Amino acid sequence: MPTYHAQAIVLAKTKLADSDLIYTLLSDEGSQLRAVGKGARKPTSKLSGTMELFHTVDLLAYKGRSLDTVSDAKLVAANRAIVSDVRLVALASTVAELVAKLSRSGQIEPRIFEMTGSYLAALDADQRAPTLTVAALLKISAQIGFRPEFHSCVLCGSPVLAVGSYRDFSVNEGGVLCSDCAAQSQSQSLSAELLAELERLLYSTFEAIVPAALPPRQLFAFVAQWLECHLQLHLKSYRSLGEYFE
């Protein structure tokens, strides 16, 4: 059977039979790989400790009919600070689930791999963790074509001036509305502070992001609504975020 090398991020693991695992992986090309690790659940497996959640690995695999099989793997980036903290696991799992749902076999989108890797490298136990997660969800959504518009009316294109404390915003249409278009469309009134914070997170690098001035729950509520509207995604990992969004 043909073999191949790939650098990939481990997004998920699923039990198979008594001792095997199915890995869902994001390759450095941005495509999804699904591969079996034979005996990976055994303590003596050479994949144990390497093919772990959120690790970046350099793997050797061979093609199969429906699933590939991992033959060997070398660790590239461990991100051990995440897997040792259940709260960070909850946050990282939300981003990993989004990426797993959006990525496809054979789909080339290297920026998604870069974004996911940068997010995981930046994620740690400080107060930035919730803010980084909201930023990652926004950035990945924008990368595949669903980028919120913060300055020009999404219906007529006219500038939306920063007057007052609130803006008319339509999640369905994808951004802010001028007063004329808002009068004829379904929209909601969002604070200028919230929209400015979302824009900052979308366009800042992960390294430059500081803890949000607004409650993370408020930012997350917008992103959850955005993903559900434009991607029809209801991520199971949302429910495990708990105290991070209290």
Q: What pLDDT digit, counting tens, does each position of 47-99 carry?
A: 988 999 999 999 999 998 889 999 999 999 998 889 889 889 999 999 999 99
Asked whether residue 46 falls in the same domain as residue 92, the answer is no
E-strand stretches of the chain: 3-16, 20-27, 32-37, 56-62, 68-77, 166-170, 175-177, 188-191
Average pLDDT over residues 195-206: 96
> Has residue 240 got a pLDDT over 70?
no
Distance (Å, whole) CA 59 – CA 137: 27
Asked whether residue 47 falls in the same domain as residue 154, the answer is no
Asked whether residue 115 falls in the same domain as residue 70, the answer is no
State what percent of residues in the chain have pLDDT above 90: 73
Q: What pLDDT digit, counting tens, does each position of 157-177 carry?
A: 999 987 789 999 999 999 999
C-alpha closest to that of 111 among 123, 125, 122, 99 = 99
Asked whether residue 212 falls in the same domain as residue 106, the answer is yes
| CA quadruple 123, 124, 127, 129: dihedral sign | positive
Q: What pLDDT digit, counting tens, does each position of 115-144 carry?
A: 999 999 999 767 789 999 999 999 999 999
Answer with the one of 46, 78, 110 that is the final residue of a domain.
78
CATH code, 37:
2.40.50.140
129-143 vs 192-203: helix axis angle to the nearest 10?
Answer: 80
pTM, entire model: 0.92
Asked whether residue 94 falls in the same domain as residue 68, the answer is no
Range of weakest confidence among 10-14, 104-108, 115-119, 205-209 = 104-108
Show the domain range for 150: 79-246
Instruction: Specify the pLDDT at position 50.
Output: 94
Please count the structural domains in the chain.
Answer: 2
Asked whether residue 164 falls in the same domain as residue 56, the answer is no
Task: Give me the residues paired with residue 72 across strands.
Answer: 60
Instruction: Specify the pLDDT at position 172.
Output: 95
Asked whether residue 6 falls in the same domain as residue 87, the answer is no
Strand ranges of the sheet holding 166-170, from the earlier edge strand across to the other edge: 175-177, 166-170, 188-191
Asked whether residue 98 falls in the same domain as residue 63, the answer is no
Asked whether residue 57 falls in the same domain as residue 102, the answer is no
Contact 179/206 with Cβ under 8 angstroms? no
Instruction: Specify the pLDDT at position 66.
Output: 87
Answer with the one of 62, 78, 94 that is the final residue of a domain.
78
Instruction: Specify the pLDDT at position 235.
Output: 77
213's CB contacts (< 8 A; 6+ apart) are 193, 197
What are 205's two structure tokens? 């690098």
Q: Grade residue 106 by pLDDT with cuts at 50, 70 and 90.
A: confident
> In Å, what is the CA distance from 150 to each residue of 6, 102, 154, 203, 217?
38, 24, 9, 12, 20
What are 32's two structure tokens? 């999804």
Instruction: Specify the pLDDT at position 236.
Output: 74
Residue 17 or 175, more confident: 175
Task: End-to-end CA distance of the chain: give it in Å, rounded.
Answer: 51
Asked whether residue 63 falls in the same domain as residue 143, the answer is no
> Has residue 246 got a pLDDT over 60?
no
Average pLDDT over residues 180-209: 94
Asked whether residue 105 falls in the same domain as residue 179, the answer is yes
C-alpha closest to that of 145 among 95, 195, 102 = 102
Asked whether residue 61 falls in the same domain as residue 125, the answer is no
Q: Grade residue 13 by pLDDT with cuts at 50, 70 and 90.
A: very high
